[in-house]
Structure 1
Amino acid sequence: MDITDFYDTFFEEAEELLADMERYLLELDVDEPDIEQLNAIFRAAHSIKGGAGTFGFEALQRTTHLFENLLDHTRKGELTLRRDIVDTFLETKDMLNDQLDAYRNGGEPDQEAFERICQTLQRLALEEIGRDLDDTGRAASPAPDQASAPRIEPPAASTDAGSAEPESGGQRIVTLLGVAEKDRQLLIEELGQLGDVVTHRGDEARYEVVLSSAVGNDDIEAVMCFIIEADQLQITAAEGTETVQSPAPPPSAPQDSAASSVPAAKSAADAKPSKAKSKAKSKSAGETSSIRVSVDKVDQVINLVGELIITQSMLDQTVSEMEGVADSALLNGMSLLQRNARDLQESVMSIRMIPMEFVFSRFPRVVRETAGKLGKEIELVTEGESTELDKSLTERIIDPLTHLVRNSLDHGIEMPDDREAVGKPRTGRLTLSAQHQGGNILIEVIDDGAGLNRDRLLSKARENGLNVSDSMTDDEVWQLIFAPGFSTAKEVTDVSGRGVGMDVVKRNIQGMGGHVEIMSRSGEGTRIRIVLPLTLAILDGMSIKVGDEMFILPLSAVLESLQPAKEDIYAMAGDDVVLKVRDEYLPVVAVHEALDVPNAKTRLTETIAVIVQGEGRRYALLVDDLVGQQQVVVKNLETNYRKVPGVSAATILGDGSVALILDIAGLHRLNRAKKEARRPERTNHSLEALTDKELETSS
């Protein structure tokens, strides 16, 4: 058996354990630490150490060994927690992450960083509990002034025979079922780290280890199940075996001799299973209900289902065009196929959907560290953690969301004294929320700070040479914070002030097919809303026709459509044209001009204006016809061809033809670029409808 086959499983499970460890560390109350949380952190470190030892990851094993030893002193009350000590624990957790990544990538961890964290842990143990940790992680004798340190006792064990959770110093029989000799030796060594191995005997089918230890069954399970399956492990109480000191006879010894050596242990083997055993069984049963699958395999299935949907659409269109179709069985079959194909598509898409908790769980650490650097008191609130989003989007939204959170902490929420002076609580509140709205997900970053300052933003924009005016709406002024190089920070810090980040946020969110909205009220706070599609794999779209070409508009971007009237069309300087819609003047984008589509309608009053929204602005797209609404399978154009300006992706229609999915904001930028290029000499590419008789010139 090649042990490297299990690397991926170890890396994934260790990553999950480290995430849990960070969550528990952030939740710890340093004044009154929860013993269960401390136990959970200890178990995570011990489990990772066991796996690291199995696979020969020495740096990871050594670091976790020292770390778990400190955690053991902490949960025993020998090390009193403080905020700076928790910070050191979090730093150690980060180092474990780095070491894990190094091994995952086939390399070795940074030796200098490894030695530094080991020295930090050793120094902490020496300063706080007067003990020196040796190579095995065991501590020397306690210093005199620390010997009487208070001890946090674990919860008392139940006296129920069925639970069999022993008190301190109790013995248990750890039974290994179907475990090879090599793994048995490793497991016995690990059990020796948890307590004293009194005796062990048996064969591969059933091997019993009598362990005297103060740790709970959960600790034993956590270590064992990194090497063997849960159903290969049984833990039972060994009542009355405390006096057993001699090792058991060899397996070839007579049966009655073995019984006389460890009578209570043998009888306990047939006793009622303990809680730990029951939990192990239930965990084993639970594991069969889920499997780990590579994302690439899921993407392949989604792609094949997409092809199936396209094929179904082709068949449906072919049947609908057949003349004299009187076979009801065929029509019923097509209807059933359509319904099943849609259900299959929704089921497969749900596989990629994961809860926003995956994203939000990263921010308690970000808020804690950023608030500490800024000297602010911040309470983080999360809402809608169960809201689901496509996995590809959750991974891409983390960086933009981090920038927004740090920006709210730095620029939004005031210093504690300033808040108190205006009647606010010293502790500011930052809220992260997520909710579904139609085919989109809304992610909001809300702070109860001072709000955006309109005059300050305009002043800073003028300093940066931006074209602004006092007549701009609040929404337009708020969007200035996304301008490249824009920052209102008075000084550059390691948190902000360099004018980078927010423009990247907007660009990344637009790259995911979303947009950013900002709402702010002076003295009350700011709400930044990110609107994203639930998935990039399928799209509810509106089919439009321009010339002989078919295009798709994202339905979420379409607001309305109308027939332009001559009196509502205004020519601006150069080739710019605007359309008046209910007292709002919208830039006109002729799709056939932007994309060079031949045989299209060029007279404005003969076209249809589709009012769309992109990047927080509204536009009027001129098209020939509206064909209808449909759900399309999105094909990445850059992967299969190259990036095309004004186009976000492509799809295959029911007749087998390819239709481009338009990028609203990109189309507007492309249209403006083409107009700029031809302004020195107006050409016949302009709309033929733009004549002095048809258009009024705006003042």
Structure 2
Amino acid sequence: MSIDFKQFYQVFFEESYEGLDIMEQGLLEISKVGITDSELINTIFRAAHSIKGGSATLGFSEMVSFTHVLETLLDEVREGNRELTAEAIDLLLQSCDALREMVRSLEQEQPIDTTTSQPLLVAFEELLTDHVAPTDGETTADVGALSNQANALEETFFGSDGAMLSTDRDAEINTETDSDIATDSAAACGRWLIDFKPQPQILLTGNEPLRIFRELETLGDLTVIADVTGVPEFDQLTVDECFISWRLLLASEADHDTIQEVFDWVLDECQLEIRRVNDVEAAAVQAPQPSQSAVTDVAEVIAAEEEPTEQLVGEVALAQVTAPVAASSAKDKTGSPSAPTKTPATPVKAEPTKGDAVAMTGGGSGPSIRVGIDKVDNLINLVGELVITQSMLSELGNNFDMEKLERLANGLEQLKQNTRELQESVMRIRMLPISFTFNRFPRMIRDLSIKTGKQVDLILSGEQTELDKTVMEQIGDPLVHLVRNAVDHGLELPDERLAAGKPETGSIRLNAEHKGGNIVIEITDDGRGLDPEKILNKAREKGIVAADQELSDAEIYELIFEPGFSTAAEVSDLSGRGVGMDVVRRNIKSLGGRIEIESHLGQGSTFRVHLPLTLAILDGQLVRVGREVFVIPLVAIVESLQIKTDLVNRVSGNMVLYRLRDDNVPIIPVYREFNIQADNTELENALLVVVEGDGCKIGLLVDDLLAQQQVVIKSLESNYKRVDGISGATILGDGSVALILDIPGLIKNAARPRKRVHSSRAA
């Protein structure tokens, strides 16, 4: 039965993106601190290895060959044979970008374009070739590894002349002479026999036996014997499973615990036995003979020229068998392990963290989300509580009488509580830490710093603040614009900062926190700040503001969001085209959010973005106009009041203003906007709900205020059509439909007859 691997594509794409993010973050951290951290290198290597393994499984040969070169370079760094230079870090970061392009192409079912990856491959090969050649007995990975692996495999089972190895030949390879034993016995306190049988899935976790053997070599003299009797027929081979076990003979002064530490990261993925043996037992250790069928099958693999996918299968099988050859041959002529230029750190197995994420996919297709297991457990518990309550109510329904009325009321209250908790729990499943968005900025800041010649320090805080997945996906691009502008417009060059009495390195701070029912994201820089006079003069030049019009600083800052507005002296690939900030505000508005600016000339600026936690549920105020019920988003309401006629002023264009302290608030009769019959069309003693959006206030004239409640938002556009002033609809408890008012849309409609309306409120 053949397996349709397409069902695994979406999971592979998502895990590849995550792996690339891990690689990028690790490389940036190493670049920042300037120290090659062994744990970070292991993490980066495992991410690259997982991408390579998944690519091989699914037959994406271009990704396999590309990641193989990355893996080779990283492996040399892991083993201490190479320093991770700035040049290598730049290449690896560019490779992350190239791999992302490959994954996107595969995701869109497009052929992979090697325009970007091919020059990188050449650069990697040059870097690897220029490296100092390994000492005698050491091996390095070849870029064209398949042919070399095949040759090594052939020599494992056959002599150099192609003849089958004899028992004497096996004894020569896998056992030591009496003189060798005597020499080692004088140098070492003991001999250890290690039987190591990994589980087939060990390769899926990024663990490779070869690297364990190399670590053992640092402890003493190692002999590696492979048992290939478990290798199945070729047509039963799978590319990501290990079928080989090993018997290891180690002459070392190390104790049992020290040896076992080398295997700590794979203890739960193998059968392991470590015991001390004497010299006679050590000399008697022989390699198990491979079966004739196994040898024949492998020989056929070497000789056959198959399709690319089958070559990948062969490559994995060959790598499994050649591992012991590489490990045992890594001794110098004296029989002792070659000392690496830098002692590699003991591999550390990553421990699972609390609330480990699990992938939730729609049958292997479509977008998915990772959910902490604690959230899933909580959801299951709530469903259990709901089932219990439902059973209790069903029981009460049998032969119901008035004596059960109190129990029925209690059961319904319990049902209400369970339903509310279940709703909140389901919503939390969609909540993800905003670190998923913040993680893109260290790389961007590094690239911008190089491009602009500015020294920038990025400070992130509040990364674990949770936000709805849909909101997070849509806020990414606006945040990119704001951070890019903070670097390009906000921060000064190092010499300018020194002249202003500031440190050479400027800082960009990203912070996220919950406030009320919203999330607030702040982008703060310690740069030059916004110049109100310069902005106002530019706006007057463009005719956005009249020459005699006076604006407060807050109103002047709002001008930078006008389409086509820019104060940049030169147009660059970063900014100056007047495109971007208007899109930022429009995208934030579409999410039901708003943006505020706080700036001090010469000290810096803060852009503060307010967003709802989710787009699926809304806290709203129900209002009645005639027989219709509308929902006003609670976050937009400033206050509700009864109109006093002495504070009402009429201006030209039939606009009615209400004097609210320092503001002149336009009054918008809801019944007139939607052409419905209202109970009261007079202003005297009428109810006014003052709302705010886009930095402006309006008063909505309504007949009555009803309850406040959470409502589930339903799209009106997808179920009917777009209606100006309406953002969606919801179904109330009595089954009726209530329309949700779009406050920014109503403000826009109110301002439409005039070219521009400015609030007269103080800054």
Common fold by TM > 0.5: yes
Structure 1 residue aligned with 2:480: 402
Inter-partner Cα distance in structure 2 for 1:186 and 1:26? 26
Output the amino acid matched with 1:514. Answer: G
Asked if the contact 1:201–1:208 (Cα under 8 Å) also holds between the matched residues in 2, the reply is yes
Asked if the contact 1:233–1:277 (Cα under 8 Å) also holds between the matched residues in 2, the reply is no
Alignment of 1:42-57 (within 5 A): 42-57=45-60
Structure 1 residue aligned with 2:313: none
How far off its partner does 1:336 sit?
A: 1.3
Structure 1 residue aligned with 2:197: 175
Asked if the contact 1:590–1:623 (Cα under 8 Å) also holds between the matched residues in 2, the reply is yes
Q: Which one scores higher on RCO, CA 8 angstroms, separation ≥ 6?
A: 2
Structure 1 residue aligned with 2:601: 522
Asked if the contact 2:39–2:348 (Cα under 8 Å) also holds between the matched residues in 1, the reply is no
Inter-partner Cα distance in structure 1 for 2:421 and 2:405? 25
Structure 1 residue aligned with 2:695: 616
How far off its partner does 1:365 sit?
A: 0.7
Please state whether the residue corresponding to 1:451 is helix, strand or coil: coil
Asked if the contact 2:202–2:269 (Cα under 8 Å) also holds between the matched residues in 1, the reply is no
Residue of 514, 529, 535 corresponding to 2:614 = 535
Residue of 19, 22, 25 corresponding to 2:21 = 19
- Pair 58,286 (structure 1): closer, same or farther in 2 beyond 3 Å: farther
Output the amino acid matched with 1:248. Answer: P
Asked if the contact 2:20–2:47 (Cα under 8 Å) also holds between the matched residues in 1, the reply is yes
- Pair 455,329 (structure 1): closer, same or farther in 2 beyond 3 Å: same
Alignment of 1:95-134 (within 5 A): 95-127=98-130, 129=132, 134=143
- Pair 211,410 (structure 1): closer, same or farther in 2 beyond 3 Å: farther
Asked if the contact 2:360–2:369 (Cα under 8 Å) also holds between the matched residues in 1, the reply is no
Inter-partner Cα distance in structure 1 for 2:249 and 2:105? 34
Residue segments in structure 2 that go unaligned for 5+ positions in a row: 135-140, 150-191, 215-223, 233-241, 251-258, 293-323, 325-345, 371-375, 394-401, 756-763
- Pair 344,242 (structure 1): closer, same or farther in 2 beyond 3 Å: farther
Please state whether the residue corresponding to 1:638 is helix, strand or coil: helix
Output the amino acid matched with 1:424. Answer: K
Cα shift readout 1:481-535 (whole Å, capped 9, x = no counterpart): 1111111111111111111111001000000010001111111111101101111
* Correspondence 1:488 to 2:491: no
Structure 2 residue aligned with 1:198: 225
Inter-partner Cα distance in structure 2 for 1:458 and 1:410? 20
Residue of 289, 295, 300 corresponding to 1:249 = 289
Alignment of 1:535-614 (within 5 A): 535-614=614-693
Inter-partner Cα distance in structure 2 for 1:13 and 1:474? 47
Structure 2 residue aligned with 1:328: 406
Inter-partner Cα distance in structure 2 for 1:520 and 1:373? 25
Output the amino acid matched with 1:292. Answer: M
Q: Larger deviation: 508-517 or 109-118?
A: 109-118
Please state whether the residue corresponding to 1:426 is helix, strand or coil: coil
Output the amino acid matched with 2:246. Answer: V
Inter-partner Cα distance in structure 1 for 2:112 and 2:193? 39
Structure 1 residue aligned with 2:711: 632
Residue segments in structure 1 that go unaligned for 5+ positions in a row: 141-169, 225-229, 253-261, 263-275, 316-323, 678-699
Please state whether the residue corresponding to 2:145 is helix, strand or coil: coil
How far off its partner does 1:251 sit?
A: 7.5
Q: Larger deviation: 466-475 or 625-634?
A: 466-475
Structure 2 residue aligned with 1:350: 428
Q: Larger deviation: 57-66 or 195-204?
A: 195-204
Asked if the contact 1:191–1:220 (Cα under 8 Å) also holds between the matched residues in 2, the reply is no
How far off its partner does 1:184 sit?
A: 10
Inter-partner Cα distance in structure 2 for 1:188 and 1:62? 17
RMSD of equivalent CA atoms: 4.1
- Pair 91,236 (structure 1): closer, same or farther in 2 beyond 3 Å: farther
How far off its partner does 1:464 sit?
A: 1.7
Residue of 431, 453, 463 corresponding to 1:375 = 453
Asked if the contact 2:651–2:657 (Cα under 8 Å) also holds between the matched residues in 1, the reply is yes
Inter-partner Cα distance in structure 1 for 2:480 and 2:147? 40
How far off its partner does 1:93 sit?
A: 1.0
Among the aligned pairs, what percent are the same residue?
40
Structure 2 residue aligned with 1:210: 246
Q: Larger deviation: 466-475 or 634-643?
A: 466-475
Structure 2 residue aligned with 1:292: 360
Structure 1 residue aligned with 2:532: 454
- Pair 484,600 (structure 1): closer, same or farther in 2 beyond 3 Å: farther
How far off its partner does 1:220 sit?
A: 9.7
TM-score by structure 2 length? 0.70
- Pair 434,187 (structure 1): closer, same or farther in 2 beyond 3 Å: closer
Please state whether the residue corresponding to 1:620 is helix, strand or coil: strand
Asked if the contact 2:360–2:368 (Cα under 8 Å) also holds between the matched residues in 1, the reply is no
Structure 2 residue aligned with 1:166: none
Output the amino acid matched with 1:16. Answer: E
Inter-partner Cα distance in structure 2 for 1:277 and 1:31? 21
Asked if the contact 2:621–2:632 (Cα under 8 Å) also holds between the matched residues in 1, the reply is yes
How far off its partner does 1:46 sit?
A: 2.0
Please state whether the residue corresponding to 1:445 is helix, strand or coil: strand
Structure 2 residue aligned with 1:691: none
Structure 2 residue aligned with 1:88: 91
Asked if the contact 2:50–2:205 (Cα under 8 Å) also holds between the matched residues in 1, the reply is no
Asked if the contact 2:11–2:361 (Cα under 8 Å) also holds between the matched residues in 1, the reply is no
Output the amino acid matched with 2:62. Answer: A
Cα shift readout 1:171-225 (whole Å, capped 9, x = no counterpart): 9654244x5xxx89999997569879731245599965228799x9999999x9x
Output the amino acid matched with 2:520. Answer: L
Please state whether the residue corresponding to 1:112 is helix, strand or coil: coil
Output the amino acid matched with 2:46. Answer: R
Please state whether the residue corresponding to 2:43 is helix, strand or coil: helix
Inter-partner Cα distance in structure 2 for 1:527 and 1:342? 37
Output the amino acid matched with 2:727. Answer: S
Cα shift readout 1:587-640 (whole Å, capped 9, x = no counterpart): 222212222222352212242111111122222111111112111111122222
Structure 2 residue aligned with 1:146: none
- Pair 478,213 (structure 1): closer, same or farther in 2 beyond 3 Å: farther
Output the amino acid matched with 1:89. Answer: L
Cα shift readout 1:33-91 (whole Å, capped 9, x = no counterpart): 21221222122212222222222211111111111112223344544444343222100
Asked if the contact 2:525–2:606 (Cα under 8 Å) also holds between the matched residues in 1, the reply is yes
Asked if the contact 2:46–2:206 (Cα under 8 Å) also holds between the matched residues in 1, the reply is no
Inter-partner Cα distance in structure 1 for 2:426 and 2:514? 19
Output the amino acid matched with 1:119. Answer: V
Inter-partner Cα distance in structure 1 for 2:517 and 2:729? 19
Structure 2 residue aligned with 1:2: 3
Inter-partner Cα distance in structure 2 for 1:377 and 1:212? 52
Please state whether the residue corresponding to 2:538 is helix, strand or coil: helix
Inter-partner Cα distance in structure 1 for 2:88 and 2:206? 33
Cα shift readout 1:16-47 (whole Å, capped 9, x = no counterpart): 21111000001004742212212221222122
Q: Larger deviation: 594-603 or 370-379?
A: 594-603
Cα shift readout 1:535-588 (whole Å, capped 9, x = no counterpart): 111111000111221100001111111112222111122122211011221122
Output the amino acid matched with 2:517. Answer: G
Structure 2 residue aligned with 1:680: none
Alignment of 1:395-434 (within 5 A): 395-434=473-512
Asked if the contact 1:400–1:509 (Cα under 8 Å) also holds between the matched residues in 2, the reply is yes
Residue of 34, 44, 48 corresponding to 2:37 = 34
Inter-partner Cα distance in structure 1 for 2:646 and 2:489? 46
Asked if the contact 2:48–2:70 (Cα under 8 Å) also holds between the matched residues in 1, the reply is yes
Asked if the contact 1:545–1:625 (Cα under 8 Å) also holds between the matched residues in 2, the reply is yes
Asked if the contact 2:264–2:349 (Cα under 8 Å) also holds between the matched residues in 1, the reply is no
